Amino acid sequence: MTNVLTNLNVSAYLSEDHTSVGFECIIFKLSFLFAETACVEGNNPCSQKCTETPKGPICECLSGFNLGTDGRTCFDINECEAEQGLCSHFCRNTDGGYACSCGEGYSLRSDRQTCKAIGTIGRQCCTQAKMNSFV
């Protein structure tokens, strides 16, 4: 933003006739230039996505993140805490998402959320669980 100010001759707009038109003109030019350069590298106020508007930058977050109260910083959503039951066994929060995993004797299904029994350990667990449910 500083580069924009140093390239403008601000005093020429303010000192010639001191009219409100001249004052409004410089305010318009400054805000227009700020809006065009607000999201460039080095000036970007946003932690993730920045959109330039005539009124200044608007910050947005990628999927799996929420915008903080400062309107600029994005924070990871802990999907494992926010949505109980996402994974049938274990849920691990990751940056912008989550990952499911399974206990011993189980493998993750293609849906990446549920587990299926594998080998004899898994079958024994399932058989035992079924027998216990009928008791």
Contacts with 109 (C-beta within 8 Å, 6 or more apart), sequence order = 115, 116
Two tokens at 4? 């924009």
- Same domain (yes/no): 64, 86: no
- Same domain (yes/no): 46, 106: no
CA distance 104 to 124: 12
pLDDT at 84: 83
Tally of domains within the chain: 2
Beta strands in 34-104 (DSSP E): 49-53, 56-60, 65-67, 74-76, 90-94, 97-101
- Same domain (yes/no): 72, 6: yes
- Same domain (yes/no): 58, 21: yes
What CATH number is associated with residue 16?
A: 2.10.25.10
- Same domain (yes/no): 7, 61: yes
- Same domain (yes/no): 13, 63: yes
Residue 87 CB-density burial (10 A; 0-12 exposed, 13-18 middle, 19+ buried): buried
Q: Which domain holds residue 42?
A: 2-76
pLDDT at 99: 96
- Same domain (yes/no): 59, 90: no
- Same domain (yes/no): 59, 120: no
- Same domain (yes/no): 58, 91: no
- Same domain (yes/no): 68, 121: no
pLDDT at 21: 46
pLDDT values of the chain reduced to their tens digit, one per residue, 135 residues: 333 443 344 444 444 555 544 444 444 444 444 445 678 877 889 999 999 988 889 999 999 999 999 999 999 999 999 988 899 999 999 999 999 999 999 999 999 999 999 976 545 555 444 434 333
In the listed set 76, 91, 114, which residue is the last one of a domain according to the structure?
A: 76
DSSP 105: T
CA distance 56 to 34: 7
pLDDT at 43: 82
- Same domain (yes/no): 63, 25: yes
- Same domain (yes/no): 61, 96: no
Residue at 109: amino acid letter: R
In the listed set 54, 76, 98, which residue is the last one of a domain according to the structure?
A: 76
